[in-house]
Amino acid sequence: MLDSLFHACVPPYLQGRVAPSQTVTLRLRADRELDLLGVFLRTAPEGEQLMTPARRAGQEGCCQWWEVAVELTVPRLAYRFMVQTDQGTWWLSAAGLTRHTPTDATDFQLLAANPGPDWVPEAVFYQIFPDRFADGDPASNVRDGEYLLDGRPVLARRWEDPPTPGAGAREFYGGDLPGIVDHLDHLQDLGVDGLYLTPIFTAPSNHKYDVADYEKVDPHLGGDQALIDLRRALDERGMRLVLDVVPNHCGVEHPWFRKAQADPDSPEAGFFTFHSHPHDYACWLGHRSLPRLNYRNPLLLETMVSGQASVLRRWLRAPYNLDGWRLDAVNMVARQGGIQAAHQVGRAIRRAIKTENPQAWVLGEHFFDGTAHLQGDELDGVMNYRGFMIPLWQWLVGSDLEGFKGKPWGDRSFLPTASLAAQWLAFRAAIPESVSLQHLNLLGSHDTPRILHLAGGDRRVVQVAAVLLFTWPGTPCIFYGDEVGLGGGGDPEGRFPMSWDQSRWDLQNLGFFRSLCRLRRGNQTLSRGALQILLAEEGTLAYLRESPGQRIVVVACREGASGQVRAISVRHGGIPDGTLFRSALGGGTRRVQEGCLEGVPVAPGAEIWIEDRV
């Protein structure tokens, strides 16, 4: 019964307003049959340990509740529970229940200051690679051979042509911002209410991470006016807009770099790190076309980040009014050799953005462990590769990202279900729970193979992944075309142009994604509710999402899991016998009997069971 001990930093386990100097009530749930001798709240707001006794607050259904009040006297309150039983003393932290004393690093955390944007947890995002989404203005298209990129002429392709291996960033299809405006009805009908665009500022490549001008939208994408028009069109539909900015490096065509190479005494020369001027310089992962920016230089920091007219601040103002930034390669910003200023620059980035708009989203690209930047004073969240997508891939299709890339350290074996749950929970336990709700969860992006490709073309596997995407804490994001069955491996196949020929769409898949979008939007349990793993064994994963007045049980089974688990034990989730659940996907109802819910789908498959209190 010890597995029934549970707490989360959200209602109904938290009562009161999380703000400086406010008093909140923290609640711990346990099975009513579990004999608890005492419960203490452990905090250390001034460094010295404080042990505050909790009181037993009564019983409800199959649960007993313990409560303790605490005043938020510090910007970030870290705490855990000590639970006394006849089996000895146990500790409950964000990492779970342990018999040994855990480190403070896994304490529950409340952020009394620096909360993330209120709107993010309830949003559903859609990622667009602009050159490959829709061509709204053919007159602005890159012409075949219009200029040279890396010494070779650029290529103009027909929309229906597949990407050419080896052409890379030189290949253009003509997608632009007017094309996005033309297809907002599709996105609104799908149910998304936020767009994330990969870079749109002037650059010679199709991906535009080689920025040549941070101050102008690329004319081949429609220019500044096209961004204004997109903003207006989104406002009419109540939709958000987040753009991709590249703070770690620029392109060799940027005037800053040209001036730096031409004159070692120029102010711009300090924007870069030259080992030997002018041709030996720090660059992104050895790509000489992408010189890295040097944030030891105060003028660069002012120009990019902190100044009144800085790149990060100007686009947040009218008429563009961006709702946030996705910061490319944030794991590398201000980290060069002996200079490790990532956190100082990270905090400066947050201050600059929040000065313009406290509700702007500060989202980072981080393929690894970004938890050090996710403590409430830097990033609001990250693209959740390592804490969601990569372990999901390995559990579902049997390889991590490095395995698919053919790296010698890649793992091309199935991740055990218990290990999937452990990795997901470990990345959540290392940060405040409110921050975990600000992540952008995804099944793939412009940097990865598409989920349909990974699934071997099996729509059922894609839909298992989609159910987990839309029910796990964090903001779900669809990569353009996934909803209609667009396939493709890694770059360039994964960046195939969006098909607008509906006869080629997978309409069943589109309907499935549409139903998930509509289920997610406005559902407080899925957007802000508590999370508890109920079962992680064999090939089946089940978890509970809970808010005041509603419980949702999610069950997912990978290929080969049929018959391994017949029912899900739910009593340790505080769910009493007689509780009725209805299916959100396949219809039908199930009632909890003898502590179990019989609602395991045929594998590969997933089900969402919503408590029916009518």
Going through 107-239 in order, the beta strands assigned E by DSSP cover 108-111, 125-128, 148-149, 152-153, 155-156, 171-172, 194-197, 201-202, 213-217
| Residue pair 531/544 in contact by the 8 Å Cβ criterion | yes
Q: Of these residues, 253, 365, 433, 607, which one is catalytic? A: 365
Among candidate residues 349, 288, 357, the one with its CA nearest the CA of residue 317: 357
Query: Residues 239, 230: contact at Cβ < 8 Å?
Result: no
Which of 379, 540, 388 is closest to 474 using CA atoms? 388
The tokens for 126 are: 């859609």
Q: How distant, in Å, are the alpha carbons of 555, 576, 586 from that of 605?
A: 8, 26, 11
Strands 148-149 and 96-98: unpaired
Among residues 254, 247, 341, the alpha carbon closest in space to that of 292 is found at 247
Given the residues 244, 328, 546, 607, the one annotated as active site: 328
Rounded to 5 degrees, what are φ and ψ at 229?
-65, -40
What whole-number distance in Å separates Cα of residue 364 and Cα of residue 247?
Answer: 11
Token digits of residue 198: 């990969």
271: exposed, middle or buried (C-beta count within 10 Å: 0-12, 13-18, 19+)? buried
| Bridge partners (DSSP) listed for residue 277 | none
**176 is an active site residue:** no
328 is catalytic: yes
Q: Which residues pair with 293 in a beta bridge?
A: 272
CA dihedral for 106, 111, 115, 121, sign (positive or negative): positive
Question: Cβ(100)–Cβ(91) under 8 Å?
Answer: yes
At 175, which amino acid appears?
A: G
Quote the tokens at residue 529.
């509710």
* Active site positions, annotated: 328, 365
